[in-house]
Amino acid sequence: MPRRFGLPSLYLAAAVVTAAATAVTTAVPLMTPASGLAARPLRAEPARPYIVTARDRAAARDLVGEVRRRVRRYYTAALPGFATMLNAAEEAELRADPRVLALEPDREIRPAAGRAALPARAPAGRGVTVYVVDSGVDVARLGDRAWRAFDATGGTGHDCTGHGTRVARAVAAAAPHARIASVRTLGCGGTGTLSDVLAGLDWVRRHARGPAVTSVQLDTAGSPALATAMRALVRSGVLVTAAGPGACRAAPGEPAYTAAAPRLAGAAARYLEFHPGANPADLTTWLKCTATRPAIRQNPSRTSNLLLRTGGL
């Protein structure tokens, strides 16, 4: 007749089995349920930040759905794309994906050197908004026509370094009555990230109401994503004045590049006060930013240099 065990005996037996199982699992490699083969120890492959520009918005949505766990920012207006973290294998896979137009590392963005502001002769720029994409703006120095519109760094829009405030004051010198919206994309260390600058441009693209101009006095060279985002703003009807060497240069549907980007933005605001329906192509023509073939150069009349100082009105 089989022997019956009481509850204490059953507990003791269960404890013995558990101890034995524990001893076995510590003595042999972990087994995978599906294959029954010993699993190798997993090595964490380092992931780095990247900007992905998709071929269109549908492709961007599909890609985000596939890597949604590590998507850091999703851009809905300035460009079809997103910021994400990728390891080497994922980077190679995306580079080969036909839905991806461009893939570039997220990087540090620095302020661009500019010229000192020159005073305008007459008040101008009423009814025009200039979006200053920079380190923030000390709005107290500019009166009630300036405000903190957006902070891509997650802060309060405070200008820690003063660079954005200097840019805003250069804009104000050329267009004293223009509204100035601070779009902060640089941190208190004096630099920012490509992904944050793109977030700022994306915000402007979604919220800008004309007549408007955007000033980007930052080092934007060499970034396909930034070029796409600024081009999207221009094509939406908002002139972008971006930092660049030398005199004013532009091409149809492109930003206007100049070493005096803030003053150019102010001059454009002056023009928009009296011509609020002017598009970016009209503005670049008026400012004498002309394209030649195959190079882009300043109009030899040097008229735009005069406009930067006087407003040209």
| 23, pLDDT greater than 70 | no
Q: Work out the pLDDT band at 134, boundaries 50, 70, 90.
A: very high
pLDDT digits (tens, 9 = 90+) for 278-300: 999 999 988 888 663 333 333 33
Token pair listed for 297: 């150069």
pLDDT digits (tens, 9 = 90+) for 180-200: 999 999 999 999 999 999 999
Residue 45 in 3-state DSSP? Answer: coil
Give the pLDDT confidence score for residue 37 in this predicted structure.
36
Token pair listed for 99: 């839905």
Question: Of the ranges 94-98, 107-111, 130-134, which one carries the lowest mean pLDDT score?
Answer: 107-111
CB burial of 124-153 (b: ≥16 within 10 Å; e: otherwise) equals bbbebbbbbbbbbbbbeebeebbebbbbbb
Give the pLDDT confidence score for residue 44 in this predicted structure.
65
Mean of the pLDDT values across residues 16-30?
40
Residue 294 preceded by cis peptide, ω within 30: yes
Distance between CA 67 and CA 82 in Å, rounded?
A: 10
- Return the higher-pLDDT residue of 294 and 125: 125
Token pair listed for 51: 């900007």
Cβ-contact 232, 78 below 8 angstroms: yes
Nearest Cα to Cα of residue 308 among 175, 168, 199? 175
Strand 81-86 versus strand 48-54 pairing type: antiparallel
Record the pTM: 0.74
Give the pLDDT confidence score for residue 93 in this predicted structure.
93
Share of the chain above pLDDT 90, in %: 60
Give the pLDDT confidence score for residue 230 in this predicted structure.
96
- Chain centroid to CA 247: 25
Give the pLDDT confidence score for residue 222 in this predicted structure.
85
Task: Indicate the angle between helix axes 261-274 and 163-174, nearest 10 degrees.
Answer: 40
Cβ-contact 313, 271 below 8 angstroms: yes
Beta-carbon count within 10 A of 100 CB: 18
Q: Work out the pLDDT band at 15, boundaries 50, 70, 90.
A: very low
List domains and CATH numbers for the chain. 48-106 (3.30.70.80), 109-310 (3.40.50.200)
Distance between CA 165 and CA 170 in Å, rounded?
A: 9
Taking all residues of the chain, what is their mean pLDDT, rounded to a whole number? 80
Residue 252 in 3-state DSSP? Answer: coil
The radius of gyration of the chain's CA atoms, rounded to the nearest angstrom, is 28
Q: Work out the pLDDT band at 24, boundaries 50, 70, 90.
A: very low
Mean of the pLDDT values across residues 152-180?
94
- Chain centroid to CA 248: 23
Question: Of the ranges 34-38, 84-88, 119-123, 176-180, which one carries the lowest mean pLDDT score?
Answer: 34-38
Distance between CA 234 and CA 231 in Å, rounded?
A: 5
Residue 149 in 3-state DSSP? Answer: strand
